[in-house]
Structure 1
Amino acid sequence: MTSIRERNKELILRAASEEFADKGFAATKTSDIAAKAGLPKPNVYYYFKSKENLYREVLESIIEPLLAASAPFNQPGQPAEVLTGYIRSKIRISRDFAFASKVFASEIMHGAPHLSSDQTEQLNAQAKHNISCIQRWIDQGLMAKVDPNHLLFSIWAATQTYADFDWQISTVTGKAKLDDADYDAAVDTITRLVLKGCEIKQHTADASEQVTST
C-alpha cells in the first residue's frame, strides 16, 4: 500500500514535471508546483528541500527509463529485433513520461547544467555501447553501411518528437490527445523507415507489436 509520503512525493514530482516543462527551471515557482499538486507549499520543501533538488529529481525520473530503453542492446539479438524493441521503448517514454521528457530535452539544449557527472557518464556510455553494436552489425554485413552515430541520433529525434511536439502532432491529426493507436502507428512507421533504410531483414521482430504491450 502506498504511504502518504510516497503519494505526496509522486504528486509533487508529477506537478513539477508539468511546470518545469511549461515554464522552464528559472520561471517555475514552487508555489505553482504546490498548487498544481494540491498540497501546501511547505510540503515541497519538506520532501525536496529546494527547487533545485526537485528539478534534479524530475531529471532522475526520466534518466532511469532512458537507460532502461536500451535494454535490447544489452543482450544478444538480431538488428531487427533490437532496433524494434529500442524504438518501441523510446516511444513508450514519450507517451508515459511526456513532461519529464520535455524537461530533459530542455536541459540538454542548455548544456545539461543540472545533470551530475555520473548521470552524464551513464548516458554517454550507454549511447556509445549502442553505437558499437550498430557498427558491429555493419561490419558483419547485417545492415547497410550507415553512420551509426547519426542513425542513433535520428531515432532519438524521431521518437522524442512525440513528447516535445505533442501539441503540434495533436493539432495536425485533429485530436485533443494522442491515443494508443497513434503511438502504435508511430512505432510501426519509424521502425519500417529504419529497417528499410538500413536494409535490415526482419526475422523475429514484429514492427507492428503494440506499444501498449509489456
Structure 2
Amino acid sequence: MPKATPQTRIQKKNTDAILEAALEVFSANGFRGATVDMIANEAGLSKPNLLYYFASKEAIHAAVLERLLGTWLDPLRALEPAGDPLLEIVGYMHRKLDLARDYPRESRLFANEIVQGAPRILTILQTDLKDLVDEKAKVIAAWSAAGRITPVDPYHLIFSIWSMTQHYADFDVQVHAILGGDHDPYPDARRYLETLFTRMLRP
C-alpha cells in the first residue's frame, strides 16, 4: 500500500482549523444540529475549500472523534499495576478531572455521541474501550483480592470516576449557576473527590 502523501504546511493548518471548528460546532449543536456550512464559517473557510479536505459532515465528525478518543483513553492507560493502588486510582481520578477542566468541549461532544446511542463510535466502545477497561478492571480486582484496597466492583468504580469528573464539563452551566458564575469549581472538586475515594478505598 503506498504511503499517504504528507500534508503541506497550509494543508495541515487548514485541516487543524477545520477540526477545531468542528469540535466547537459539534459540541454546541450535536451531530444532527451541525452543518458543513456552520463548520466552514467557524473555520474561516469556504464550503468548497472545506470539502476539499473532508468529503462530508460524517467524515469530519469521524476525524474529530478519532482524535478525541486517543485523549480520552490515555488517563486510564496510565494506571500502573505495579504502583500503589490508592495513589493510582486517585491519580486516575485527577487526570479525568483535569480532562474535564481542560477539554470541556471534547467531553460534551463525547456525551452527545453517547446520548444518541453512539452510532458512530459503538464499535470502538465495544472493542478498544472495553478491552482497556477489562484490563484495568482486572488490576483493580487483584488489588482488592490482595487486601490492598477495600473490596470494590472495579467496573462501577471506573464508572463512578467517569460520572463524577465529567459532570463538571457536561453540566458546566448547571454547576456555575449553583456555585456562581465566577467560581472555579475544580480545586474544591479535586479535594472533595480525593477525600471521597481515599476514604472509600483505604483498607
Written as runs of structure 1 = structure 2, the 5 A alignment for 1:1-214 is 3-115=9-121, 117-118=123-124, 120-176=126-182, 179=184, 182-199=185-202
Q: 1:73 aligns to what SS in structure 2? A: coil
Shift of 1:48: 1.7
Q: Percent identity?
A: 36
Q: Is the 2:143–2:149 contact (alpha carbons within 8 Å) kept by the matching residues of 1?
A: yes
Shift of 1:43: 2.7
Q: Give the Cα separation in 2 of the matches to 1:8 and 1:187.
A: 37
Shift of 1:91: 1.4
Greater shift, 43-52 or 152-161, is seen at: 43-52
Q: Give the Cα separation in 2 of the matches to 1:188 and 1:133.
A: 25
Q: Is the 2:27–2:105 contact (alpha carbons within 8 Å) kept by the matching residues of 1?
A: yes
Q: Which runs of 5+ in 1 are unaligned?
A: 201-214
Partner of 2:5: none
Shift of 1:193: 0.7
Shift of 1:186: 2.3
- Specify the code of the residue in structure 2 equivalent to 1:31: D
Residues 37-94 of structure 1: CA deviation (Å, up to 9, x unaligned): 2222223212222100111111112210111111332452111221122112111221
Q: Is the 2:23–2:105 contact (alpha carbons within 8 Å) kept by the matching residues of 1?
A: yes
- Specify the code of the residue in structure 1 equivalent to 2:139: C
- Specify the code of the residue in structure 2 equivalent to 1:50: S
Q: Give the Cα separation in 2 of the matches to 1:83 and 1:116.
A: 26
- Specify the code of the residue in structure 2 equivalent to 1:199: R
Say if 1:184 and 1:47 are closer, same or farther in 2 by CA, change over 3 A.
Answer: farther
Q: Give the Cα separation in 1 of the matches to 2:53 and 2:125.
A: 22
Q: TM-score, normalised by structure 2?
A: 0.87
- Specify the code of the residue in structure 1 equivalent to 2:53: Y
Q: Which runs of 5+ in 2 are unaligned?
A: 1-7
